Amino acid sequence: MPIRPIPDNSVAQETNPLMHDRLRFDLQELAEHVHTAFKDWQKAGDVNSPLTEFHLFEHARQAQQFTDDPSALEQRQILNRMLLEELSHLATTHPQEAAVLRSRFVENRYVREVALRQNVSESTVYIQQREGIEHIAQRLIAQETALRGERADVLNGRLPAATATRLFGLEPHIDNIAGQLSTSQPPWIVSIEGIGGIGKTTLADAIVRHTIDDAAFADIGWVSAKSAVLDLAGNLRAAPSAMLSVDELIAALFAQLLPNLPLPGPERAMTLLRKRLKEQPHLVVIDNLETLEDLHELLPTLRSLTNPSKFLLTTRWSLYAEPGVFPYHVPELAQGDALSLLRYEATQTNLRSVSTADDAMLIPVYQTVGGNPLALRLVVGLARVYGLDVLLVDLTNASGQPAENLYSYIYRRAWDGLDELGRVVLLATAALAPGGDDLDFLLQIASLPREDVVTALNQLVTRNLINVSDEAGVVRYSLHSLTRTFLQEQVAKWQM
């Protein structure tokens, strides 16, 4: 069974429980596995030691220039050389223990023979053997912790700056997606999908941080193609380094995953990157996929880079129609999680009027913006200036620059991409019940032929402007609360 670091239970839930300096290993468990590895020194056949999952083992493999997929015999050789190095170091600090371990396992001698050679009792041999193994386990922990820490520092440096110190309502999604990524089988591409501000990047970030300390992936890459940023004062600004082309994307991944090689031309870069990703499993995250120039060119490129490597995408577009892609729709927060997020953000910014507010005061916020985390955090950011009552009126009436910027950030690109038929049907969806309605009701309120409505629905679903659920075989369509608020006022201004 794999040896996993144990999170320090003294760490508060608000902090990242995966920080490498907050981890410790079970010394006794590791010592038992070291003992087993020594006992298996002379064995042929498969190697089942959890030590092969250590970063130390991977470093030893590279140092000994074995292939990326070593045979059972080669794994045994790598593991034995690791233990020999530990014995050599132990000989400088505890020479008697090192001599006992070398005689017992490397030279395959019985305890009685070792006792005679060392001129000690058999019980002393067992004591020295146990203490030597514990000293080796302690050193392995120190080395492995240092290696994991160095790796975590590098990988954390590739991630976007964390904007959330505590997560709400994401735990089930983290588990579900991590489960898809942890297997050595398809799906090779997982797409986190949803409207702007729903928490796709936050979710991907949490999954990667969850994965960083896992040896399942040789390396992790992250490229963001974010084209705009909305701050918590309601200011909308262009991102300075939006990634637009497939060649730029490949170049960015090349720089991260093959840092010791000079960047060649696009074709050569693709060849070397493909070789790297095919040799060992990597996890590659592409954030804000929809901002790339040619999505249809990119997806075949990504497919050619998978297996055993996996890709995690975040996008406002749904890729449900793309073969080989596992689409994962992120829903809005439930009311309880949304109110908890409001109070937490208010507590962090010392806004007592919101942090101490009762449910009756905060529920109107949820009714106006729904469970969109970005919108909820924006409400807290602006409540200090405008007050909740005035702010909710502005959001409902789409008045004021912050409200305009929020709607532009989340909806403008999707709205501009709709044809006239798609816009007509989207406007009609404002009449859908909060719990959703079926296609017959949508046909009735749209007053359009069935084929036109179905064509328009494909546009809306692809852009995550409408939610689709299947309840006992009945497909129902519904809106996010924020989308409904947007349709009531803001979209009318864009039609002028």
Give the Cα separation of 470 and 468 in Å (integer): 7
Q: How confident is the model at residue 421 (pLDDT cuts 50, 70, 90)?
A: very high
DSSP codes of every residue in 259-327: TTS----HHHHHHHHHHHHHHS-EEEEEESGGGSS-HHHHHHHHHHH-SS-EEEEEESS--TTSTTEEE
Is pLDDT of 21 > 60? no
Q: Which amino acid is at 232?
A: L
What's the rounded Cα separation, in Å, for the pair 369 and 493? Answer: 19
pLDDT of residue 372: 93
pLDDT digits (tens, 9 = 90+) for 463-472: 999 999 987 7
Q: Residue 17, exposed/middle/buried by CB under 10 A (0-12, 13-18, 19+)?
A: middle
Alpha carbon 258 to its chain centroid, in Å, reads 21
| Residue 388 or residue 12, greater confidence | 388
Question: Chain-wide mean pLDDT for the chain?
Answer: 86
Q: What is the pTM of this model?
A: 0.77
- Tens digits of per-residue pLDDT, 32-70? 999 999 999 988 777 888 888 887 888 888 777 776 678
pLDDT-based confidence at residue 442 (cuts at 50, 70, 90): very high
CATH 1.10.10.10-classified regions of the chain = 407-494
Residues of each domain in the chain carrying CATH 3.40.50.300: 159-329
Fold for domain 407-494? Arc Repressor Mutant, subunit A (1.10.10)
Q: Domain 159-329, what fold?
A: Rossmann fold (3.40.50)
Q: CA-to-CA distance for 291 and 48, rounded, in angstroms?
A: 45
User: What Å distances lie between residue 76 and 44, 326, 352, CA to CA?
Assistant: 8, 37, 61
What sign has the CA pseudo-torsion 366, 400, 404, 235? negative
* Beta-sheet pairing, 325-329 with 189-193: parallel
Q: Please compute the mean of the pLDDT values over residues 249-272 and round it to a whole number.
A: 93
Q: Higher pLDDT residue, 193 or 144?
A: 193
Mean pLDDT of the 433-460 span: 94
Evaluate if residue 18 carries a pLDDT over 50.
no
pLDDT tens for 97-148 read 999 999 999 999 999 999 999 999 999 999 999 999 999 999 999 998 888 8
For range 181-188, the mean pLDDT:
93
Is the pLDDT confidence value at 297 over 90?
A: no
Q: What angle do CA 90, 92, 93 make, to 5 degrees?
A: 65
DSSP-based three-state secondary structure for 167:
coil
Q: What is the pLDDT of residues 318-330, one digit of tens each?
A: 999 899 999 999 9
Best CA proximity match to 205, nearest among 288, 149, 147: 288
Residues 467 and 433: beta-carbon distance below 8 Å? no
Helix extents (H) in 159-287: 171-182, 200-211, 246-257, 266-279
**pLDDT at res. 345:** 93
